[in-house]
Chains A and B, each alone.
Chain A
Amino acid sequence: MNIYLEGVLAAMGINILLALSARAILATDRLSLGNAGFMAIGAYVSAYLTVSLGWDLYPAIAVGGSAAAAIGLLVGLPVLRLQGIYFVMGTLAFGEVVRTFFQNFEPTGGAYGMRGMFGTTLTMIYVFVAAFLVLFLALGRSRLGYVADALHDDDEAARSIGINVDLLRLLAFAWGGLIAGIAGALFAHYALYIESGNFNFLVSANAVLFVILGGVQTVWGAILGAVIFSLLPEGLRFLADWRLSAYGVILVGLMILRPEGILTRAMLRRLAGFFVRKP
């Protein structure tokens, strides 16, 4: 496969994982602009393990992802007490704290970044994508799927029927952290070089944009969003240096024209009548 195409597909796979991570949290009616922080934790922890401690890649990915999930639990406890704009800002602050922490943290290269990681293949990225997709679909069809819908739709009514809203939000936050952490670990061992700037606020924002524009109602929307908006800047290459402008205009326009995203549940139901239960 040619190198250019492979690079685009790898970035797309990582973006799909990031979109799934954003969606995990959005499904509980909370929007996180800090998932790049989780990604950074997964990237740096796994990179430290493989480069400095000589670990194999797979256990390093597992530990990197788990570290991000654990931080998710820890940070989620206080941050999830915040609502609305405050929650958004709290997660944003978290992401920036993580980024600036790694900017200064010498054992993982500080401002110079880190190199020496390798081993992520395209296949590996898409195995993770497929695995998480299957998990999302299975959870969506489980009882937990309704529970998540219920608490997303009406927090107070959900509590009134005994749903443990706070616990589920915390777990969803950590689950999002796990996925972003794994995305980060894969990214680090694909990109060969990482620096704290790779995990800035725009990465978190993009992850959420993928989900919202693709369609927040179904997991397929997140995937569609990540695919389209990973390919779009490439498709706009004929615009040369103007392509990010075009990208911005298209995003703003789409938000106005399809605020509910490209793919909706109703559409999916129509497309696939055989779906007993929406994913």
Chain B
Amino acid sequence: MTALLEFSQVSKAFGGVLAVDELSFTLDRGELVGLIGPNGAGKTTVFNLASGVQRLSRGEVLFRGVKISATSPTRIARSGIARTFQNIRLFRSLTVLEHVLVAQSCRSASLLTQMLPFASATDRTLRRQALAVLEVFGLADRRDELAVHLPYGGQRRLEIARAIATAPELLLLDEPAAGLNDSETAELSGILETLRAQGYTILLVEHDMNLVMRLCSRILVLNFGRLIASGTPAEVRGSQEVIDAYLGVAD
């Protein structure tokens, strides 16, 4: 069976800087894999390449065995890859609930059905589903507030909720625990476990090593755009190269 996501010899250059350098890896369905590495290692760039925001310089990205490295971000999102952003990017003028609604509709709805009045029957179903999503993320009781008024942790969770609402198969999470306090991190950890149990495939970029080591079945370690190690948390923790490059400098 083909891997869900495959990076094959992928490089991405910014001027002279190789942000990603001959990177190859695969993700299988249902895996929760960590992607770690020091700042500037190229993790966000990997996400940008997988979601089509940036074009790779060399190599190929395959999703379900199909090449997506020349596909538009819109198409990639519709085909089942959803992402969050390291620096939160919520919609300034939308409420919490509207974030989920807008993400739901874009998957399949044609332009014409989108122009139907908001109160149509299908919308009531979608609304119910949207509320269910917000329930999972602990945001249901703030559904009518503007998203930008949520506390930081709430905004991080809403980013994931919005991604989930597109009904993806693969979820790319860019530092979802960054800036969260302990209780918020615990809450996030619970959510990630739920998502894993629900069968989402997740690629997790995160600096919180406790979180990564505990949740991930496999970890990929990047440094200067190159994969310097990969394996189970125990294997990665034991690798001298990783300790030198990363763990030594992280907190």
Contact = CB atoms under 8 A, between A and B. Distances in A.
The residue in B73, B101, B102 that gathers the most chain A C-beta atoms within 10 A of its C-beta is B102
Interface in B59-86: 72-74, 77-78, 82-83, 85
Nearest to A145: B118
A144 B114 contact: yes
Interface in A160-184: 160-167, 171
Contacts of B85: 157, 160
A154 interface: yes
A138 B117 contact: yes
Contacts of A144: 111, 114-115
A152 B93 CA distance: 9
A50 to B, nearest CB: 32
B109 interface: yes
A141 interface: yes
Contacts of A156: 53, 73, 89
Contacts of B162: 161
B123 interface: yes
- By size class, the interface of chain B is 35 or more
A167 B117 CA distance: 21
Nearest to B85: A157
Interface string B235-250: 0000000000000000
Given A143-B123, A149-B94, A161 B89 contact: no
Contacts of B91: 149-150, 153-154, 157-158
B103 interface: yes
A159 B114 CA distance: 16
Nearest to A135: B115
B166 A153 contact: no
A6 B33 CA distance: 70
A149 B89 CA distance: 14
A142 B116 contact: yes
A156 B73 CA distance: 9
A8 to B, nearest CB: 34
A115 interface: no
B105 A147 contact: yes
Contacts of B101: 143, 146
Contacts of B72: 159, 166
The residue in A145, A166, A171, A217 that gathers the most chain B C-beta atoms within 10 A of its C-beta is A145
A163 B109 CA distance: 10
B74 to A, nearest CB: 5
Interface residues of A, number: 30
A124 interface: no
B93 A153 contact: yes
Interface string B126-169: 00000000000000000000000000000000000011011000
A243 interface: no
A161 B103 contact: yes
Contacts of A147: 102, 105-106, 114
B51 interface: yes
B77 A161 contact: yes
A139 interface: yes
A146 B72 CA distance: 21
A154 B85 CA distance: 12
Given A143-B123, A159-B53, A162-B78, A154 B89 contact: yes
A107 B100 CA distance: 54
A90 B98 CA distance: 34
Given A159-B53, A164-B74, A143 B116 contact: yes
A143 B127 CA distance: 12
B93 A161 contact: no
Given A143-B113, A154-B91, A164-B74, 15 more contacts: A138-B117, A142-B114, A142-B115, A147-B102, A149-B102, A150-B102, A154-B89, A156-B73, A158-B91, A159-B74, A160-B77, A161-B102, A161-B103, A161-B106, A265-B93
22 contacts: A142-B118, A143-B105, A146-B98, A146-B102, A147-B105, A149-B93, A149-B94, A152-B93, A153-B92, A157-B89, A157-B90, A157-B91, A159-B74, A160-B73, A160-B85, A161-B82, A161-B103, A162-B78, A163-B102, A164-B74, A164-B106, A166-B72
Pairs A-B, 10 closest by C-beta atoms: A162-B106, A162-B77, A159-B73, A153-B91, A157-B89, A146-B102, A161-B103, A143-B114, A162-B78, A153-B92
